[in-house]
Amino acid sequence: GLPYKMGILVAVLGIWFSSSLVKGDSKAVTTSLTTKWSSTPLLLETR
């Protein structure tokens, strides 16, 4: 019936929302990695 379809819709939306949050976290991780990589040559030069 209708409640069953609504449950599936909510589940799909929840999975999509969680996956989008994971993508956002990975994006933040990549940005932090790029900032670390850009600062790495400076650390190597100071040695």
* Cα within 13 Å of Cα(39), Cβ side: 6
Q: Mean per-residue pLDDT for 40-45?
A: 62
Both tokens of residue 33? 């990695």
Task: Please tell me whether residue 1 adopts helix, strand or coil conformation.
Answer: coil
The pLDDT value given to residue 14: 85
Q: What pLDDT score does 22 carry? A: 76
Which pLDDT belongs to residue 41?
A: 63
Q: What is the DSSP string of 1-47?
A: -HHHHHHHHHHHHHHHHHHHHHHHHHHHHHHHHHHHHHHHHHHHHH-
pLDDT tens-digit map of 9-41:
888 888 888 877 777 777 777 777 777 666 666
Q: Would the pLDDT of 6 be above 80?
A: yes
Domain ranges for the chain: 22-47
